[in-house]
Amino acid sequence: MSILSWNCQGFGNQRAVDVLSHLMKETTPKILFLIETKQSVDEMRQIQSDLPYRCMLVVSSVRRSDGLALLWKEEVDLHIQTYSPHHIDALIHNGNDPTWRLTRFYGWPEEQNKHESWRLLKHLYSRLPDPWLCCGDFNEILHLGEKQGSRLKSLQPMQEFQSTLLCCGLVDLGFQGNQYNWNNGCPRDAFMQERLDTACASAEWRELFPHVKVSHLQASYSDHIPILINITGLDQRGRRKKIPRRFEEKWASHAECENVIRQA
C-alpha cells in the first residue's frame, strides 16, 4: 500500500489538476491526502471524477482558504473516526491482521497558533490506542537542520514540536530525496526552504511495518512537494517463508565441498 500526501496550495486552475493527475499515474497510491485544496465539497467531487478514487471525505475550505480531502480506493477498508479543518483521523482494517490508525494532519501556520496544533495532536493521541501513523503538513520543523536560508529560528517552537511527538509516542520516519519539502519562492537572499511535511509513527506501528519508506517527490506546482509513504504489506513484512533445506547429493562430488563444510 502507498499513501500520497500533498499540500497542493489549491486547485484554482487546470494546471494544478493536471499535475495531480500526473502524480497519480506515476505513484498509483491507494490513499491520497490533499491539504489546502481551497475547494468546496462540490468542487472536489468534480476533481474526484477524474481520479481513480470512489471514496472521499472533504473538509470544505472557508472563503477559499485551507480545505482538506482524503480519497481512497474501494479495496482499502478505511473508516473515518473524526475530522476538523486541521485533521482527518481514520482506522484501517486488514482482515485478520491488526487494525491500525491513520491520521492526516495540518498544523496551524501562524506562530501564535502553533500551540493549537500540539493541543490537537495530544487530544488525538488520547482517543485511540491502535498502532498509529500520523503524517501531513505540521508547519513546523524538528531541528535547525531542517531549515535553510533567512534568519535563525527560535529553538522554543521546535522544542515544543519535539516534546509533543515524544508525549504522543511518535517518531519521525525519515525520508529519501530532497532534504526540504517547502520553499517560500523568494529570490536570492530572501529564499528559504524547510521540511514542514513529515511522517511519524508509533513504535507499535513501526513493528507492524518495519520496511516503510518515505520519499520526497517533485511537482511543478505548489510551494510544497508531495511525500509518498510506501508501506510493505503485513504478509510481506515479517513472515519469513519456510525455505526447505535439502542436501543435494551431487554437491559431494565437487572438489571444494569438504572444505566449505569444514569452514561453515
What DSSP string describes 147-162? EESSSPPPHHHHHHHH
- How far is the C-alpha of 174 from the C-alpha of 186, rounded, in Å? 27
Q: Quote the Cα angle for 195-219-225, to 5°.
A: 15
Average pLDDT of the residues in 235-263: 55
pLDDT in tens, 146-166: 999 877 888 999 999 999 999
- Residue-wise pLDDT for 116-130, tens only, equals 999 999 999 999 999
* pLDDT over 80 (residue 11): yes
Residue 24 carries which side chain, given as an amino acid letter?
M
Task: Give the length of the chain.
Answer: 264
**Structure confidence at residue 250 (pLDDT):** 52
pLDDT of residue 183: 92
What are the tens digits of pLDDT across the range 26-69? Answer: 999 999 999 999 999 999 999 999 899 999 999 998 887 899 99
Contacts of 97 (CB under 8 A, 6+ apart): 208, 234
What's the fold here for domain 2-263?
Deoxyribonuclease I; Chain A (3.60.10)
249 has a pLDDT exceeding 70: no
If you average pLDDT over residues 83-106, what whole number do you get? 95
Q: Does the structure show a pLDDT above 60 at 236? A: no
Please report, for the chain, the start and end positions of each structural domain, with discontinuous segments joined by +.
2-263
- Is a pLDDT exceeding 60 seen at residue 176? yes
Per-residue model confidence (pLDDT) at position 224: 93
Quick one: cell of 39? 475547494
Question: For residue 213, what pLDDT is reported?
Answer: 96
